[in-house]
Amino acid sequence: MPSVTSSSVQQARQALGRRLRELRMDAGLTARELARLATWHESKCSRLENGHTHPSDADIRTYTALCAAQDQTADLIATARGIEGAYVQWRRMERAGPRRVQQSVAPLFERTRRFRVYQSWVIPGLLQSAAYTRAVLNTVAQLRDVPNDIDDAVAARMDRQQVLYAGDHRFAILVEEWVPRTVIGSDETMAGALGHLISVASLPSVSLGVIPLGTPRGAGWPVESFTLYDDAQVNVELVSAHLTVTQPGEIAEYARAFAELSAIAVYGAEARSLITGAIDAIG
């Protein structure tokens, strides 16, 4: 998996290293001086600051103490811990089959009250029909050579959708207009999925926005699909991995992106018109 473990994780390590370097420079210390004060090998600072070695909690506490920046200790430790756990290969997640993936998020869905979902690829899972889910998961199984327990996975996703009808959950969902115009499965499957989308979008707990094709883009430009779970976590869908974001600053960035995308979407009758237009275009 070259794109995630060897690239994205390394970039995150390098970004953390730059933050450590800035602390050291602000404190007026050279890398050799800091290593001497910490009783480290003189090359350790360089390895940490260039992302070649991942810092332990103790390393970060030493850095911040020697640089008189203890106020940043907790945030840096959280960042370091998050880097190694943030990127999970889809293949590893799906090794036991798609059903396990669907079931694994149930506790997260149950405890979340405010869902903010942006999808630039497919109809969001919470709003999918069973046939559409089957078509999506069949494609995933073929592309990634995972165990083919599609029937169980579809049933698990349909069970998960009960969160739409129970409790005090609220769902703000955005899709690009090309999502309902991209045929997944057969024409019949897609038409049924769009009819289901219109029906579910009428629920009191659901707000569905559609970003029309040709909308002038300022800050709200298309990005990777993501879901905000309250203000506690963001899940991001990548081609080769699943990214979990828990850093408050990064969560805030996704919240801003969602707000910017929300501002250029249409809702209500205008959104339904775009979806019915996609239905009319099928076949």
DSSP state string for 8-63:
IHHHHHHHHHHHHHHHHHHTT--HHHHHHHHT--TTHHHHHHTTSSPPPHHHHHHH
pLDDT value at residue 1: 33
Query: Per-10-residue mean pLDDT for the chain, 283 residues long?
Result: 48 88 95 95 92 91 96 88 63 55 72 96 96 89 68 87 91 98 96 97 97 90 93 82 78 93 97 97 86
Taken in order 263, 265, 269, 270, the sign of the CA dihedral is positive
pLDDT value at residue 86: 60
What are the structural domains of the chain?
4-86 (1.10.260.40), 94-281 (3.30.870)
How many other C-beta atoms can be found within 10 angstroms of the C-beta atom of residue 245? 18
pLDDT value at residue 238: 72
Ordered strands of the 233-237 beta sheet: 87-89, 241-245, 233-237, 226-229, 114-119, 170-176, 206-211
pLDDT value at residue 92: 57
